[in-house]
Structure formats: C-alpha cells, structure tokens
Amino acid sequence: MTTENYNPLLVAQKQIAHAAEKLQLDLRILEMLKEPERCLEVSIPVKMDDGMVQVFKGWRCQHNTAIGPAKGGLRYHPDVTQEEVKALAMWMTFKCNVVGLPYGGGKGGIRVDPRKLSVGELERMTRAYINLIAPVIGPTKDIPAPDVYTTPQIMGWIMDEFSKINGCNVPGIVTGKPIIVGGSLGRDKATARGCTIVIREAAKKLGIPLQGAAVAVQGYGNAGSFLATLLTEMGCKIVAVSDSKGGIYHSDGLNAQAVIDHKAHTGSVVGFPGAKVITNQELLDCDVDILVPAAFENQIDADVAAQVKAKIVAEAANGPTTPEGDAVLYDKGVLVIPDILASAGGVTVSYFEWVQNLANFYWSLEEVNNRLEHIMVNSFAAVYAMHQDKGVSMRDAAYMVAINRIAEAIKIRGWI
C-alpha cells in the first residue's frame, strides 16, 4: 500500500469525490466540500507539575457550516496531525447530515499522550486550549464533544472555562458533559446503541437472524464494549474482541460484561480466562457474520478486506476502511454500514444534549433512546434505499444522501 492510502485527508476527499461523481454534483460545490472552511492551529504552553513549561500543538477545524454550526469531538493523542483533524471534520459534516442534524462538521485535537499527564496537567492544558480557540467556538458556532482519550470530566472543564470567559454559564458550548452540568442521559452509550440499531436493520435486510449470529469487535473501549453487551442482549454471540494490546477468541462466545470487568482489572482484554489469544489481524479475518471495527482509521485495506469473511461490516470507528478495502468488500458482496451512519448515534444524542441545554429542559432516558431509535432507523432506511435505487455501495449511498442535503443548503444560501 502507498503512503497516500493512509493519509486520512486524502481518503476523505476521495470518498467525497466518488459520491459527488455519482450524484453529478455541481463541481463548484465539490470544490467547497474538499477543503475545510477554517482550521486553527494553536501552541499550548502548559506549566507542568515539576515547574517546567511544555508546549503542545493543537487544532480546531470547521469543515462546512452551510446547514448549521460545526459539531465534532476533541481527541488527545500523540499521533494527531492536522490532516487527520481535517479529515475527521469532513466525516463529521457527512455524519451529521446523513442523519439529518442541523450541523456541519468540526473536529479538534491535541498532540499529547494524556496518560503521561497528571490530572492537574491535563486540566491546565485543556483550559489553555479552550482559551486559545474560544473566539471560533460557541453554541451557535462550533460545539466540541468527547473523542479519543477525552472524557466527560474534560468536557466539564471546557464548559467551565468557556463560561468563565463569557461571564455566564454556557452549557451548550460542549456536549458529553457530566449530567450535573447539563449532560444528557444516554449520551455515554449512544454511539454503541446507534450502531446496534443499524446492525439490526441491516441484518433484517439480509435475512440474518441475530439469535446466534457470530460477532467480532475490534476495539473494546466505551463504544465497542457496550456494543458487544447490547448485541449479546439481542442474541448475538461475541466470539472475538480486541484492544491495543491484542485480542481474544472463543468459538462458543465470550461473556461481554465479564471481559469488560477483566479489562478494568488488568488493563487489557488479553488474558481473559479460557480465551485464545489472537492478533488484531486475526480478529478481522474471523469467520463471523458481523464484524465491527471500533478502533482507529485504516484498519481494513485491500489485503485485509480480501480475507474478511463477515457478511456485515459495521464501522463503529471513524474511517476504518480504506477506499481500496472498501472496493474489495463491495465486490465480495459484503454489506458495509459506513462510519458516517454506523457511528452517528453519538453525535445524534449530542444534538439532543445541545437542544436540552438551549431549552434548559431535560428529557428522560426513555425519551432520548426513543428519539435515537427513530432517527437511526429512518436514516438507515434512506441510505439503504439510495443504495438499492442507484446500485451503489452503502458508503456512496450515505455520502449521496448527506451531500444532497448540504448542496441544497449551499444553493439556498447563495454560496454559489
């Protein structure tokens, strides 16, 4: 594989261009969608616990705001790059619009290993970052949220710092907050719940009974572990899971909750009693009905895709399949539920949180879950209908649904 295949920005741009070609999209709109409206880079000086100052690089990117304010997560990771943040912002634009939310895409990142920082250092870095990007964010401009290695506590610090800057409480500045400061019930498990809903809908279309269906989950963090739990409740058999340290397999099925408890105690799924140790590569090759990549980008390239045996690939992670891998899966007849649809449950309930903040009126968990169910079912139906009507992949169909909405807003606003 070439280096280009692993540049997430180029991957995102290829996906946009591919769908735009099938839509015969106005080339002026395509040019607007291929680049973000704004990408702010900041240098964040932080006083460390030993008295020294360390400077971290950070970004906040806003892709397209034709339909509404930017919306997207903030990740803390040592490998974050500007290209990655731009690509993630683009994917967020289409993720929001494939499920019909009044948002454009945004994304933020700081190049840091948060596991090497004390709680105090992490808080000081977060607050310094918010001070630097404060002019370009806000409830009607750009609303951050949790992502890789960021937590509800970090969102609480963001809400507090932005509120201090503005001299009043501004809960709508960020989503994924603790409940006590304006968070929404159901937000912590929304990505997994949304993905589970579209897996269920896809299984119906393909005539795959979920009772006894074999599932492999790559990435056993918050989304992956809860998704495994929900699928177990639906009757699925979780035969393989993995994290950054490796994977485990058991043909008779794994107890999802017991694996969660084991990882909480040991730091990894590896070593779970009675399970065979496997690599992440071996997990992707497992003979299963449903494969859920819930880790990082570019996990399934053409070579890996050629070995995939699953009938459904549900992308709970952002960008886990390269364009070349996607083409191989499509040719094999694998139904790929693309990331912008499969992982849209999180941003959907983030939208609910934002709405509740603006209204200062909060919903029950039942209401949150019912609204999420309605949006995910209808969104899957719209994408699947496009997939069938136009004879295109589910990924192209999802982009086509989203791009149609954005293009209409661009035209109505007179941007072209």
Cα–Cα nearest to 121, from 67, 76, 85:
76
Q: Where are the alpha helices (DSSP H) in 169-296?
A: 190-206, 222-233, 256-266, 280-284
Cα–Cα nearest to 370, from 96, 93, 185, 147:
185
User: Are 313 and 393 within 8 A, CB to CB?
Assistant: no
In the residue annotation, 57 being an active-site residue is answered as no
Buried b or exposed e, range 288-322, using 16+ CB within 10 angstroms: bbbbbbbbbbbbbbbebbeebebbbbbbbbbbbbb
- Six token digits for residue 86: 């731009």
Q: Distances from the Cα of 100 to the Cαs of 51, 333, 380, in angstroms? A: 48, 28, 12
DSSP assigned state of 123: H
Single out the catalytic residue among 14, 71, 86, 107: 107
Please list, in sequence order, all residues whose beta carbon lies within 8 angstroms of the beta carbon of residue 3, skipping any fewer than 6 positions away: none
DSSP assigned state of 184: P
- CA 332 – CA 107 distance, rounded (Å): 33
Cα–Cα nearest to 238, from 254, 251, 223:
254
User: Are 312 and 208 within 8 A, CB to CB?
Assistant: yes
Please list, in sequence order, all residues whose beta carbon lies within 8 angstroms of the beta carbon of residue 163, skipping any fewer than 6 positions away: 169, 170, 173
Residue type, 195: C
Please list the residues that pair with 142 across neighbouring strands. 70, 138
The number of C-alpha atoms within 13 Å of 82 and in the hemisphere containing its C-beta is 9
Catalytic residues: 107
